[in-house]
C-alpha cells in the first residue's frame, strides 16, 4: 500500500481527447470482462502534470486566496501541502495519524466549506475545510 498521487491542470476541457469505453469481448462463446484500468483513459492530451508522487496519497485539494492546497498522507501522518517545483511541500501536520481514503469525494457546500469523508481500517470521519481552518472529526 504505497499509494500515488497525480495533480494535473486542465486549461480547456475541449482540448482533451474523448474516451470511448472498451466493450466486453467474447472468446470461445464466453464474455471477457475488461481488465482493471481498461475503463480509464490513458490520454494526457489537453492536460499539464503539476506533480506525480509515489508514497503520497492526496485526500483533497482546495483553493485558498488564489493558491491550491492539498491534504496528503504518507500513511504515517497527514499534512497540508502546496506544490513547488513539481513536488509536494508539506506546510504543516494536521494529524499525527494517517487519514487516508482511496476514493475520497470532496463536497463543496453552498457556504464554501469543503467536506471530505474518509474511512479506513484505523479511523473514519470527515474533514471540514473552510478558508484556512481545517477541522477533523473522527468516529468509531
Instruction: Please state the rounded mean pLDDT for residues 22-34.
Output: 70
Evaluate if residue 1 carries a pLDDT over 60.
Answer: no
pLDDT (tens digit per residue) in 34-78: 666 666 777 888 899 999 999 899 999 999 999 999 999 998 899
Strand boundaries in the chain, DSSP class E:
4-9, 25-27, 30-32, 48-54, 57-64, 67-73, 78-84, 87-95, 106-108, 114-119, 124-130, 133-139
Confidence of residue 126 (pLDDT cuts 50, 70, 90): very high
Evaluate if residue 115 carries a pLDDT over 90.
Answer: yes
What confidence score (pLDDT) does residue 34 get?
Answer: 67
Grid coordinates of 15 = 482540448
Instruction: Please state the rounded mean pLDDT for residues 86-100.
Output: 91
Grid coordinates of 133 = 481552518
Cβ 106 vs Cβ 119: under 8 Å? no
What confidence score (pLDDT) does residue 114 get?
Answer: 96
N- to C-terminal Cα separation, the chain: 23
Cα-only R_g, the chain: 18
Greater pLDDT, 31 or 1: 31
Cβ 51 vs Cβ 88: under 8 Å? yes
What confidence score (pLDDT) does residue 22 get?
Answer: 73
Cβ 100 vs Cβ 57: under 8 Å? yes
pTM above 0.85, yes or no: no
Amino acid at each position: 500500500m504505497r499509494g500515488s498521487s497525480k495533480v494535473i491542470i486542465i486549461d480547456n476541457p475541449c482540448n482533451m481527447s474523448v474516451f470511448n469505453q472498451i466493450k466486453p469481448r467474447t472468446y470461445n462463446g464466453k464474455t471477457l470482462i475488461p481488465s482493471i484500468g481498461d475503463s480509464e483513459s490513458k490520454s494526457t492530451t489537453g492536460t499539464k502534470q503539476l506533480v506525480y508522487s509515489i508514497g503520497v496519497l492526496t485526500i483533497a485539494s482546495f483553493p485558498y486566496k488564489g493558491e491550491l492546497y492539498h491534504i496528503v498522507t504518507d500513511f504515517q501522518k497527514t499534512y497540508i501541502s502546496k506544490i513547488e517545483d513539481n513536488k509536494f511541500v508539506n506546510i504543516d501536520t494536521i494529524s499525527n495519524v494517517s487519514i487516508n481514503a482511496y476514493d475520497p469525494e470532496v463536497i463543496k457546500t453552498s457556504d464554501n466549506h469543503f467536506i471530505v469523508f474518509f474511512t479506513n481500517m484505523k479511523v473514519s470521519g470527515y474533514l471540514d475545510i473552510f478558508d484556512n481552518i481545517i477541522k477533523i472529526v473522527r468516529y468509531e
